Structure 1
Amino acid sequence: MKNSVAMDPIDHTLFRDTLAARAIEEPNTVFLRFGDDTYTIGQINAASNRVANALLGSGLKPGDRVGLMLPSHPDHIIAIFATMKAGLVRVPVNVHAKGPSLEHYFTAYDLAALVADDQYRAQLDEAFVEVAAPAIIWRGSVDGRGDNYEALVAQASDAEPDVCFDTDDILALTPSSGTTGAPKGVLKSDRTLRAGPMAVLKITDARPGDVFLLWEPLHHGAGVAVIISAVLGKVTLAMVERFSVSNFWNDVRRYGVTHIHYLGGVLPLLLKQPPSDQDRDHKVRIAWGGGCPPEIWRDVEERFGVTLREGYGLSELITFVTLNLDRRVGSCGVPLSLYDLKVVDDDGQEVAAGEVGEIVAKSKQPETGFLGYFRNEETTRDTQRDGWLLTGDLARRDEDGFIFYAGRKKEMLRRRGINISAWEVEQVVNKHAAVAECALIGVPSELGEDDLKIVIRLIEGASLDPMALIEFCEARMPYYQVPRYVEEISEFPKTPTQRIRKKELSRSVSSSWDLEATGRTVSRKPVKA
Structure 2
Amino acid sequence: MTDILKGFVAEFNAKADRQPNKVFARFNSEEITFARLKAQAGTFAANLQLRGLKPGDRVAVMMRNSRFSLPVLFGIARAGAVWVPINAQQKGEGLRYILEHSKPKFVVCDFEYLTTLGECGAGTPTDAFITIGGPHDPGSFEAVLEEDAACVDRPLKADDLFAIMYTSGTTGRPKGVLVTHGMLRLAGEAVRTLTEMQPSDVFFVWEPFFHIGGAQLIVLPVIEDITLAMVDRFSASRFWDQVRSSAATHVHYLGGILQILLKQPENPLDRQHAVRIAWGGGCPKDVWTKFSDRFGVEIRECYGMTEASSITTCNTEGVVGSVGKPMSWYAVEVVDGNGQPCGPGERGEIVVRSSLNGALFKGYLDNPEATSKALVDSALRTGDAGTLDSEGNLWFHGRMTDSVRCKGENVSAWEVEHMAAAHPSVEDCAMIGVEADVGEQDIKLFVKAKNGKTIQPEHLSHWLAKRLASYQNPRYIKVVCEFERTPSQRIMKHLLSRDLHDCWDRLAAAQSGGQARRPDVVAAKQ
User: 1:426, 1:440 within 8 Å by CA — same for their partners in 2?
Assistant: yes
Please state if 1:59 is matched with 2:56: no
From the superposition, tell whether residues 132 and 180 of structure 1 become closer, same or farther in structure 2 (CA, over 3 Å): farther
User: In structure 2, what is the equivalent of residue 527 of structure 1?
Assistant: none
The CA deviation at 1:135 is 2.0
The Cα of 1:497 is off from its aligned counterpart by: 0.3
Task: Output the TM-score relative to the length of structure 1.
Answer: 0.93
| Deviates further, 376-385 or 427-436 | 376-385
Paired residues of 2:313 and 2:327 also in contact (CA < 8 A) = yes
2:66 paired with 1:73: yes
Match for residue 135 of structure 2? 142
Q: For 1:23-77, what per-residue CA distance to the aligned partner results, in whole angstroms no more than 9, with x for missing partners?
A: 1222222221222421222212222222122212221121111111222102112
Select between 477-486 and 353-362 the one with higher mean Cα deviation: 477-486
The equivalent residue for 1:25 is 18
- Letter paired with 1:77: L
Counterparts in 2 of 1:463 and 1:306: CA distance versus 1, 3 Å: same
Aligned residues: 512
Does residue 98 of the first structure (1) align with residue 91 of the second (2)? yes
For 2:6 and 2:127, the matched residues in 1 are separated by 32
Q: 1:87 aligns with which of 69, 80, 84?
A: 80
Q: Is the 8 A contact 1:100 1:127 kept in 2?
A: yes
**2:295 aligned residue:** 304
Shift of 1:128: 4.1
Ranges in structure 2 where 5+ consecutive residues have no aligned partner:
513-526
User: In structure 1, how many angstroms separate the alpha carbons of the residues matched to 2:420 and 2:203?
Assistant: 31
Q: Deviations over 1:160-207 (max 9, x none)?
A: 633233221112111122112221211111101111121111111111
Deviation of residue 130 (structure 1)? 5.3
The amino acid of 2:292's aligned partner reads E
Which of 402, 411, 422 is the aligned partner of 2:402? Answer: 411
Instruction: After superposition, give the CA deviation of every residue in 1:472-503 in whole Å (9 maximum; x if it has no partner).
Output: 32333322212122111000010000000011
Confirm or deny that 1:423 pairs with 2:407.
Answer: no
Partner of 2:345: 354
Which residue among 206, 210, 230 is the counterpart of 1:239? 230
Whole-angstrom distance in 1 between the partners of 2:27 and 2:418: 35
Residue 153 of structure 1: how far off its partner (Å): 2.7
| Aligned equivalent of 1:39, options 29, 32, 41 | 32
* Structure 2 counterpart of 1:449: 440
TM-score after normalising by structure 2: 0.93
Give the aligned partner of residue 4 of structure 1: none
Question: How far does residue 318 in structure 1 lie from its aligned partner after superposition?
Answer: 1.4
- CA separation in 1, counterparts of 2:2 and 2:294? 37
Q: Is the CA contact (8 Å cut-off) linking 2:387 and 2:396 kept in structure 1?
A: yes
Contact residue 403 and residue 412 of structure 2 kept, 8 A: yes
Offset at residue 129 of structure 1 (A): 6.4
Compute the displacement of 1:430 (Å): 0.9
Distance 2:182 2:499 in 1: 46
Q: Which of 146, 151, 173 is matched with 1:154 structurally?
A: 146
> 2: distance between equivalents of 1:127 and 1:506?
23
Aligned-partner Cα distance in 1 for 2:297–2:140: 45
Q: Deviation string for 1:345-396 (max 9, x for gaps)?
A: 1211112221211111122112111211122223211222222211111112
How far apart, in 2, do the equivalents of 1:394 and 1:17 lie? 39
- Match for residue 217 of structure 1? 208
Residues 312-359 of structure 1 deviation map (CA, whole Å, 9 limit, x = unaligned):
111211111010111111111111121121111121111222121111
Matching of residue 174 in structure 1 with residue 165 in structure 2: yes
Relative distance call for 1:103 and 1:387 in structure 2 (3 A) is same
Instruction: With a CA cutoff of 8 Å and minimum separation of 6, indicate the structure with the bigger relative contact order.
Output: 1
Give 1:88 deviation, angstroms.
0.8
- Structure 1 position 395 matched with structure 2 position 403: no
How far does residue 399 in structure 1 lie from its aligned partner after superposition?
Answer: 1.1
C-alpha displacement of 1:105: 2.1
Quick one: which amino acid aligns to residue 466 of structure 2? A
The correspondence for 2:322, drawn from 331, 341, 350, is 331
Q: Which of 368, 372, 377 in structure 2 is aligned with 1:381?
A: 372
User: Which AA in structure 2 matches 1:113?
Assistant: F
For 1:186, the equivalent position in structure 2 comes to 177
C-alpha separation between the residues in 2 aligned to 1:325 and 1:161? 42
Q: How does 1:453-464 map to 2 (within 5 A)?
A: 453-464=444-455
Q: Secondary structure of the residue that 1:368 maps to in structure 2?
A: coil
Distance 1:358 1:156, change over 3 A: farther
User: Which segments of 5 or more consecutive residues in structure 1 lack a partner in the other structure?
Assistant: 1-7, 522-529
Q: Would you say the 8 A contact 2:79–2:151 is kept in 1? A: no
Distance 1:163 1:147, change over 3 A: same
Q: 1:296 to 1:403 in 2, by over 3 A?
A: same
Matched, 1:195 2:181: no
Which stretch shows the higher mean deviation, 489-498 or 160-169?
Answer: 160-169
- Any residues of structure 2 matched to 1:252-271 within 5 Å, and which? 252-271=243-262
Distance in 2 separating the partners of 1:264 and 1:47: 34
Name the amino acid aligned to 2:89: H
Cα displacement (A) at 1:249: 0.5
Counterpart in the other structure of 1:108: 101
State which drifts further: 294-303 or 375-384: 375-384
Partner Cα distance (2:87, 2:212) in 1? 11
- Could you tell me how far 1:448 is from its partner in structure 2? 2.1
Partners of 2:344 and 2:23 in 1: CA distance: 47
In structure 2, the partner of 1:485 is 476
Structure 1 vs Structure 2 CA RMSD: 1.9
Pick closer, same or farther for the CA change 1:31–1:110 going to 2, 3 Å: same
Indicate if the aligned counterparts of 1:415 and 1:450 stay in contact, CA closer than 8 A.
Answer: yes
Tell me, in whole angstroms, the C-alpha distance in 1 between the residues paired with 2:222 and 2:476.
Answer: 49
- Give 1:228's aligned residue: 219
Deviation of 1:414 after TM superposition, in Å, equals: 0.7
Q: Distance in 2 between matches of 1:313 and 1:84?
A: 24
Q: Distance in 1 between matches of 2:323 and 2:29?
A: 36
Bigger shift: residues 408-417 or 14-23 = 14-23
